[in-house]
Amino acid sequence: MINIKELSDEELVYGSLACAGCGGNLALRQALKVLGRNTVIATTACCLMGVTTFYPQLAFEVPCVTSVFPGTGAVISGLVAGLKRKGKGDVNVVGFAGDGGTVDIGLQALSGAMERGEKFIWIAYDNEAYMNTGTQRSGATPFGAYTTTTPGGKKRMWEDRPKKNMLRIVMDHGIPYAATASVAYPKDYMEKVAKAMQAPGPAYIQVLAPCPPGWGHDTDVTVEMAKLAVQTGVWVLAEYENEKLSVTHRPAKRLPVEEYLKKQGRFSHLGPEEISAFQASVDRLWDKDFA
Ligand SMILES: Cc1ncc(C[n+]2csc(CCOP(=O)(O)OP(=O)(O)O)c2C)c(N)n1
Ligand code: SF4
Ligand SMILES: [Mg+2]
């Protein structure tokens, strides 16, 4: 069990150039508090790579490799094999990628690495769009969200597809551990990172990480947004281990999704009809998977 008060003060990522209020940066810092120095990180093309590997500076205190956008799964496979060969099989090999680099362009290499059953941890920080290149939609963009490739407006061109259920996809690879997490629930997240470190094979964590410029909220409410996502049931804190899926934090009473949607510019064009459709999709998800 993680006791937040007993965590090390040491920051293993320091001097990142992320925007104020970046949820992804928080996800990285919180994870490294648990992973510690015995870790190698592989990042890929994404905001967090851009803001931590700014030549000639490196914000990581642990070794870090950067990969081509689709290649992180292959890079971590190589790292696992190389470290094993050098007798350092106990090092945490961590792929840290955005939602685009996980659910879309990185999926093939990640799938291959999971299939091979190698021991690694994949942390997907999910800000629900391609933020680094100016907020284009990804497979993780939720229904109704404005992005620059799904503009809102009178023509109702916002995202009309549901968010890809990546947890189900990784579970179906038969890996030993998978979870969803939120930067607003650090204890829950860090305990999942600790379990991922102990897993005998691939471990996957998808952590919801709000992005103020991309989501259209102030920089000081990042944690509030990540919390509201959980309290409204839009984002479920779940865990898959021993072939069982369970909820790790069940809101006593789910708030209406409107409480979450109305605080973000990316949903500001939605009317009552779309908000009802959003609510219905959240209710369906809970009834189907988490009743
Ligand atoms: C093959 C390839 N296509 C496109 C890009 C441009 N690119 C760099 S980062 C990025 C967006 C990354 O989105 P995501 O993985 O969600 O991370 P985020 O930036 O949102 O944190 C894109 C499209 C690239 N580097 N390589
Ligand atoms: S654009 Fe968003 S994800 Fe990228 S550094 Fe800024 S807050 Fe973080
Ligand atoms: Mg993203």
What ranges do the domains of the chain cover? 4-289
Confidence (pLDDT) at 157: 81
Confidence (pLDDT) at 36: 97
* Cα–Cα distance for residue pair 284/281, rounded to 1 Å: 5
Q: Which fold would CATH assign to domain 4-289?
A: Rossmann fold (3.40.50)
Confidence (pLDDT) at 152: 80
The answer to whether the beta carbons of residues 134 and 147 sit under 8 Å apart is no
Give me the tens of pLDDT residue by residue for the chain, a chain 291 residues long.
889 889 999 999 999 999 999 999 999 999 999 999 999 999 999 999 999 998 888 999 999 999 999 999 999 999 999 999 999 999 999 999 999 999 999 999 999 999 999 999 999 999 999 999 999 999 999 999 999 999 887 777 888 889 999 999 999 999 999 999 999 999 999 999 999 999 999 999 999 999 999 999 999 999 999 999 999 999 999 999 999 999 999 999 999 999 999 999 999 999 999 999 999 999 999 999 998
Cα–Cα nearest to 142, from 20, 285, 245, 43: 285
**Site to substitute for ligand 2 among 131, 133, 217, 221, most atoms within 8 A of C-beta:** 131
CA torsion sign, 124 to 125 to 126 to 129? negative
* Cα–Cα distance for residue pair 46/49, rounded to 1 Å: 5
Confidence (pLDDT) at 174: 96
DSSP code, position 59: -
Does residue 124 have its Cβ closer than 6 Å to ligand 1? no
Confidence (pLDDT) at 224: 98
Q: Which atom of ligand 1 is nearest to the CA of 104?
A: 15
Helices (H), 199-271: 212-215, 222-231, 258-261
Confidence (pLDDT) at 172: 97
Give nearest CA residue, ligand 2 atom 6.
19
* Cα–Cα distance for residue pair 47/175, rounded to 1 Å: 27
Confidence (pLDDT) at 114: 98
Confidence (pLDDT) at 153: 77
Give nearest CA residue, ligand 2 atom 8.
22
Confidence (pLDDT) at 49: 95
Distance 53 CA to ligand 2 centre (A): 14
